[in-house]
A and B are shown apart, each in its own frame.
Chain A
Amino acid sequence: MAVIRALFDSVFGKIKPLDQKIGHTNQILHLFPVPCGDCNGCILEINALRGAAFDISASGLAFVDHPAIANILLITGVLTRSMIPYLEKNWELMPEPKAIVTVGACAINKNVFDENYAVLKETTGGEDCILKIEGCPPAPQQIMEGLLGVLGLRPQSELDLPHPPHSPLYEEPLHQPSTDENSDNSTG
């Protein structure tokens, strides 16, 4: 992980945001999400970032439709045997520097699910994984915060990232979900 992270930082980490206040950067992380054995929660939370509720266009994150132009492979869900060839294919297609980010408890430690004939014992990412975003599933804000951290941007709480409650469309006093609320409650 250290080697990959160092290589990645050499390209992305040194580039400072143009404007720390509004979080603009001249470097863009190109993200290619691939769901494995997930319940759809994590992948849909990632996709929520593409929608109108979270404007990420100015934040240095961009989703791409092909791995050949991606820097980050976002993986969700437990590692299923049937998805391995596709994960490998996508990884091979990605240009250097490239890295894996695992999103959600299932991708990190299989969460509540067991190893079996269809699910591998190994967890996703291995040595190429530079970031693990916890949660079951993590909220879009958490995912954005984690990915912006890769770019060296300040955390969301300091940055005041584009956030729906500030939109005039919202009139309700929205609750800001804390980590506890969105993290895995399965043990309780």
Chain B
Amino acid sequence: MIQSEPPLTTHTKAADLIKKHKRESKFFFRVEEDEWREIVSKLPLDRLIFLAMWCSGDDINILFLENGFRPLGVRVAFSIDRYLAVSQIRPAAIIYERMIWELWGKEAMNAVDLRPWLDRGLWKHTWPLSSKQAPTTWPPEQYDYEMPPDIVQKGGELATIDPSSCQGFSPSLWRFAMVGETIIKAESLYGYTHRSIISNLLNKNVLEVLPRISRINAVDSVAHQIAFAHAIEDMAQFMPTAKVLRKRVILSELSKIIAHLLYLSQLFRQLGIGIIASRCEIARELLMRWSAHYYGHRWLMDCVFPGTVRSIDEMGEEATEKLPAKVKYLCAEAHKLMHGFPGLIDSLQDIGVLSTEQAIQFNIGGVIGRASGRDVDIRRYMPEYRLEWLSPRTFTSGDVYARMQLRFQEIENALQIIETILQDVEEEAPVEDKKIIVETLYGEGIGVCEGVQGDLWYYIKVEGGIIKDIFIRDPAANQAYVLQGILQGELWENQSIIRASFGILSTGVDL
């Protein structure tokens, strides 16, 4: 029997249902408990993409994406601290339901999983972001592992990777149940680097938090800065000048090249191919020094501000010839060596496969999503970018090989974009010098940026320049969740290679 697909309509049933309600704010519609049940029941036949979910006070905010990029929010207040889960229909919500339970103490009914995602039992309070927080019990509750209980009796074994033995990756605890060399079950625990970024940003002035935004995730610092700036500009109805937008593209692409080179070098180190890793490492160091010289920071921190960028006049268009040519040469060398390395391509194909269906279910974007055939690139909707700059993706098998090839492709593409911008000097008409006056800011804004892991979203609510509500949707969170499933059935010797192909996830997860 052939199942008919839901009709391709722009406004789907659940979206229509949401929009029938009272629009409470720019992005959110207020619905009642019963109405939320109805919306959830319509979601299976809907194309709304689940983006993020968090609490503010007694309300639960659920953010969807309509048509792939337009935010559509639902705000529900529940009489008791329980709400109907969406993770059964949208698996991307699993980690958010887990976070809401451990941070705000609101329980998702019918949830797929409610075990702690970030809380390792050592926090000062339970439900720390809730008004009902209480001291924790001691000793901490034992985490309930989803490991096969009889694995040892069947001749299998358990292996653990300690968060302090991460060898350069941010701390996360991995447990593997294995039979022979095959991984039967893999489970990861995060939260070791959790600094509670949200409580660090709440009730602070917009300008005061800028250094913190830069330091949430060093690898993706520019994406955080741009997404935050976009959210503030969205709130202030402010459009930066073309010159500012051009500089932001350079910064963003530069940071992506640096990150891809880092991930590629880590992958080749795991593979034991120093000759290629060394090319990536030297190219990365060269670019970081270039960044320090022209933008004042190796990691490009404190470079983007709402409405403007730092060093706007420091780096003129004459810098075209100063973009290190050696970087391009080293990247091309690494790519060539990779193709010529005996047996490498064969050994990386068909391992660590993330299917297109999984990528869609968990809303996986970035290189990992694109390598699985889910062609989501939020740069298409960012005002800074032109569509012709973005090259089409040609590797969609979802395995380690596709992710590695795509990283090389994205580096090449990013270098081209930077060169295009530096060469394409347009005489800009003098514009009126406008500024965002932070103290007058009221309302809410959503900002987005395509970071190295994918689409990074910021929701901010500001009153008189003070942040009253904020949530960061980091793409690494869902990638970390699906990685556990991908490792199942793989050989033990491949686990570090597969993990390296995903990049560094824990900083994005922990927040």
Interface set of A (CB-CB < 8 Å, partner B):
33-41, 43-48, 50-54, 65-67, 77-78, 80-87, 89-90, 106, 111-114, 116-119, 136-137, 139-140, 164, 167, 169-172, 174-175, 177, 181-182, 184-188
Contact = CB atoms under 8 A, between A and B. Distances in A.
Contact of A81 (B123, B282, B296): B123
Nearest to A138: B298
A39 B298 CA distance: 14
A90 B284 CA distance: 31
B252 interface: no
Interface string B216-259: 11110100000000000000000000000000000000000000
Given A45-B298, A86-B171, 7 more contacts: A90-B164, A113-B215, A118-B123, A119-B196, A164-B285, A175-B292, A175-B293
Contacts of B168: 33, 43-44, 46-47, 50
Contacts of A169: 282, 326, 330
A107 B157 CA distance: 37
Nearest to B265: A51
A86 B192 contact: yes
Leading 10 A-B pairs by shortest Cβ distance: A186-B211, A41-B218, A52-B278, A175-B293, A53-B285, A51-B281, A117-B128, A86-B164, A117-B124, A82-B120
A53 B261 CA distance: 13
B393 interface: no
Contacts of A111: 215
Given A39-B217, A169-B330, A177 B292 contact: yes
Contact of B191 (A34, A77, A82): A82
A104 to B, nearest CB: 10
B123 to A, nearest CB: 5
A35 B170 contact: yes
Contact of B128 (A106, A114, A118, A188): A118
A87 B302 contact: no
A160 B477 CA distance: 43
A118 B194 contact: yes
Contacts of A177: 289, 292-293, 298
A65 B165 contact: yes
Interface string B158-171: 00001111111011
A53 B192 CA distance: 30
B88 interface: no
A119 B278 contact: no
B191 A185 contact: no
Contacts, number: 184
25 contacts: A37-B194, A39-B217, A40-B217, A52-B278, A52-B281, A65-B165, A67-B164, A77-B193, A78-B195, A80-B192, A81-B122, A82-B122, A82-B191, A83-B193, A90-B164, A113-B200, A114-B199, A117-B128, A164-B285, A170-B282, A174-B289, A177-B298, A181-B297, A182-B298, A185-B301
Nearest to A172: B324
Contacts of A34: 164, 171
Given A47-B168, A84-B122, A119-B196, A112 B211 contact: yes
Contacts of B265: 51
A40 B219 CA distance: 7
B180 interface: no
Interface string B273-293: 010011101101110011011
Interface in B458-491: none
Contact of B218 (A33, A84, A137): A137
B325 interface: yes
Contact of A51 (B170, B212, B278, B289): B278
B162 to A, nearest CB: 7
Interface in B175-201: 191-196, 199-200
Contact of B192 (A83, A171, A185): A83
Nearest to B510: A37
B196 A164 contact: no
Nearest to B504: A40
Given A34-B164, A39-B217, A118-B128, A182 B281 contact: no
Contacts of B301: 41, 136, 185
Given A111-B215, A170-B326, A177-B292, A83 B199 contact: no
Given A35-B193, A51-B281, A172 B326 contact: yes
A116 B164 contact: no
A117 B316 CA distance: 45
Contacts of A87: 164
Contact of B216 (A33, A39, A44, A86): A39
B282 A167 contact: yes
B507 interface: yes
Contact of B282 (A38, A47, A53): A53
Contacts of B284: 53
Contacts of B286: 164, 170, 172, 174
A182 B218 CA distance: 13
Nearest to B120: A82
A37 B200 CA distance: 13
B219 A44 contact: yes
B214 interface: yes
Interface in B283-330: 284-286, 289-290, 292-293, 296-299, 301-302, 322, 324-326, 330
Contacts of B299: 41, 137
A92 B106 CA distance: 39
Contacts of B274: 52
B13 interface: no
Contacts of A33: 168
Contacts of B214: 186
Contact of A39 (B164, B218, B326): B218
A80 to B, nearest CB: 6
A52 B325 contact: no
B380 interface: no
Contact of A86 (B163, B277, B292): B163
